[in-house]
Structure 1
């Protein structure tokens, strides 16, 4: 077919427009395909959020149960090792929190507690340790306290936390006189990232926060 110059020009212009349309389509469609691939590489915020339940669901028991083979930890959201770690932490923290000196820098006191507690609880402890009234009273009476702690029982177990009742026993020297003091606390140990930390620490008769998950 013989085309005039005008027809050839019109045909060429039509081809250019058609190619431009295809190019635009491919450019727009490509990010959609890429976004699916990116979704696999970068999970959505919901996928990266922490689990609502226990990190490792309890395995459960399917066979018959007897006093000889009953394993309580198969029904709990914490393993035997986690329980032992949490109990040790609650006991050590209670003893450390109850040990202080009038001539000690408050920061040194809270620095000892920092590895054992959550950031929120640490902030509370720092505010309390730096209270001018408390510091002045301890200095005037030259207060020195040395504490130990006993684990009394487990008050509650939730998906991500365990509440222990712990009795802190102090030997307190105040104004040159020494006395024995004791107080029972509810100590909540909770999962905090990949570790266990003390989440809450209150007198046992004041109630206790529930699960942290």
Structure 2
């Protein structure tokens, strides 16, 4: 038993010597300054928090609604800038629609509307302006019409379009006599190809659904 105890002690001492030698070898063999596995995985730099990305738009309005700073555009499918652009577009369209001369071609008239309306609506307006009876009547009476417009209200808002009620105020000279006439229109402005265009319009008392899909 004493001999066996002595052998076990010698064996343990030998293992300690071998492990110590291995540790010394690894320390000497590793290149100076080489990062360990943990440092390699982190790029050798101290850990830092990731930079904050751009803030996401708030999903809605939380908390108590305050009339003093209530932002309705947070709840609508159009931004403030888009609404302003659409309103200006509707107003300019009605002004241009009601402005014409007896001595201009239908193409000239349609060109004033081309940047405001969709291609389809613009083509329809050009065909209407080229109606033989209408052209003859304007030329015979030397009709000159000038129009301005006022925005009256927002009638309807959809995901892709907004309908404005616009009043066109037209001053007409016909056979040397002047007259004025006011007409209200429902004008649908819709997104098309990344921009806003007048998609449809008709007398305001008829109304229209407005959304284009």
Asked if Structure 1 and Structure 2 have the same fold, meaning a TM-score greater than 0.5 normalized by the shorter chain, the answer is yes
In the TM superposition, what are the counterparts of 1:16-165 in structure 2 within 5 Å?
59-165=59-165
Rg larger for: 2
Aligned with 1:164: secondary structure?
strand
Aligned with 1:85: secondary structure?
helix
Aligned twin of 1:38: none
| 8 Å CA contact 1:98, 1:168 repeated in 2 | yes
Distance 1:104-1:58 versus aligned 2 partners, 3 A rule:
farther
**Structure 2: distance between partners of 1:193 and 1:64:** 38
Aligned twin of 2:3: none
Gaps of 5+ in 2: 1-56
Which TM-score applies when normalising by structure 2?
0.71
Runs of 4+ in 1 over 6 A off after TM superposition: none
Gaps of 5+ in 1: 1-56
State the 1:205 CA deviation. Answer: 1.1
Greater helix percent: which structure?
1
**Matched length:** 157
Aligned with 1:139: secondary structure?
helix
State the 1:58 CA deviation. Answer: 8.5
| 8 Å CA contact 1:58, 1:75 repeated in 2 | no
Which TM-score applies when normalising by structure 1?
0.71
